[in-house]
Chains A and B, each alone.
Chain A
Amino acid sequence: MNAATDTGNANDVAALYQRTVLDHSRQPRNFGRLPPPVQRAVGHNVLCGDKVTIYLHCDADRVVRATFEGSGCAICMASASLLTEHLAGLGVAAAGAAVTGFLHSFAAPDSPTPAGALAALAAVRTYPSRVRCATLPWQTAQAALAGPTTGAKGPVSTEKDGPHGHG
């Protein structure tokens, strides 16, 4: 072993697990379920076992409140927590655009870095095996936004995406 490999790429790990990400994974915001009427969707990453349920309470044209439940890695929990803060208060159309924009920024790594607090997740884009950890909550929110106001949507799975990592 030499000194360079002993320390590993500590800077890379620090970029991935930066303070905002660790803070949100340790103390998730808006964790819990919302009572009906609610738009709800379940997302499951079958390869790693991450599972997220997104609850959206929308009035006529606005996301009033967003919460989530689930379990998963630090990246997934932080992403879900950041999502709930980001979507709350947005118009439904704007929330849909925000979700699409976030997912696009991961599908097209050359696209602009997500703005604001979401920039904390930008480094995940350089870890192909972890991208789905960050995108699962957003795919789930997309299903919740598209869904009816009552009952559960069918589960969202990251399985159909891109090249498979190994679970």
Chain B
Amino acid sequence: MDYLNAIGLQRIAACEAELLDYTVAALGAVPGLTLVGTAPQRAGVASFTVDGVHPHDIGTVLDQHGVAIRAGHHCAMPVMEKFGLSGTARASVAFYNTTAEIDRLVAALHVAIRLLRP
């Protein structure tokens, strides 16, 4: 808490909101990608699915490109079933991330799609 307070929660929130906007815009430009969960006020996470490419396959390819995301049910199987999803891929951003890292995420995502899309 000392660390976070030293930076300032307002600054952290502003930074994360900006990064999330950048992330959502960058992901939204990927063909076949659907963002899941688009509430205006939310934490720094962007869940998504990609047509024809399973979240776990996305996760593995991104991992090999040095990008760590989470994939699957996110311990929320009931809500996945409600939305008829077998899972999602989910990128999380925090104040220590950079827009360059988001660019890298999107570049790796294109690699995964080229490799795996039917």
Contact = CB atoms under 8 A, between A and B. Distances in A.
B61 A13 contact: yes
A47 B60 contact: no
A1 B8 CA distance: 28
Contacts of A12: 64
B32 interface: no
Given A13-B115, A46-B77, A166-B70, A8 B65 contact: yes
B54 A73 contact: yes
A13 B87 contact: no
| B: interface residue count bin | 20 to 34
B73 A48 contact: yes
Given A1-B100, A12-B64, A72 B54 contact: yes
A66 B116 CA distance: 26
Interface of A: 1, 5-10, 12-13, 16-17, 22, 26, 46-50, 71-75, 127, 129-130, 133, 166-167
Nearest to A9: B64
B50 to A, nearest CB: 12
A47 B61 contact: no
B56 interface: yes
A71 B85 CA distance: 11
6 contacts: A5-B66, A13-B61, A48-B86, A50-B86, A75-B56, A167-B87
Nearest to B87: A49
Contacts of A8: 64-66, 108, 111
Contacts of B60: 13, 16, 127, 129-130
B37 interface: no
Contacts of B57: 17, 73-75
Contacts of B87: 48-49, 167
A91 to B, nearest CB: 34
B56 A130 contact: yes
B11 interface: no
Given A1-B100, A26-B118, A71-B86, A48 B56 contact: yes
B81 to A, nearest CB: 9
Given A48-B72, A167-B72, A10 B56 contact: no
